[in-house]
Amino acid sequence: MFPGQWETSVGGHIKYGDTAKETAARELEEELRIIEPVRYLGRFAYRGKEEKENIAFFYVVTKKEPKLNRLEATRGEFLTIHELERCLSRRTFVDGTDEEVRILKRLLSKLEESR
């Protein structure tokens, strides 16, 4: 959607009649060829200069090897949240990534606390 810019996750827009969870599972299969149940993590409303979105975060636990769909992306990497934070200043990410990473860190921290 934004050539030359990095995204931080698998994602897509919800189709009419679908739920956020159905969309997350569909996008995971389309972009990484992984079919697994997705689990809700949290959400936030993003209001940036390029887009205005209501973003839902889901996660998946799998031992399956991801296979990047080259029709969806030209390149992909898997980073820890700390590696991603270091990359924020060295790469061009889509608008709002700083805020998204900050919220994702908070949600992941809550997930760890609940285990």
pTM of the model: 0.80
Query: Is 20-114 a domain of CATH 3.90.79.10?
Result: yes
Overall average pLDDT of the 47-69 stretch: 87
pLDDT digit string, tens, across residues 10-54 = 888 899 999 999 999 999 999 999 999 999 999 888 887 777 888
pLDDT of residue 1: 65
20 phi-psi bin (left φ>0, alpha ψ -120 to 50, beta other): alpha
8 A C-beta contact, residue 76 and residue 28: no
pLDDT digit string (tens) for 80-108? 888 998 888 888 887 788 888 888 888 88
Distance separating alpha carbons of residues 38 and 59, to the nearest angstrom: 6
Task: Give me the residue spans of the domains in the chain.
Answer: 20-114
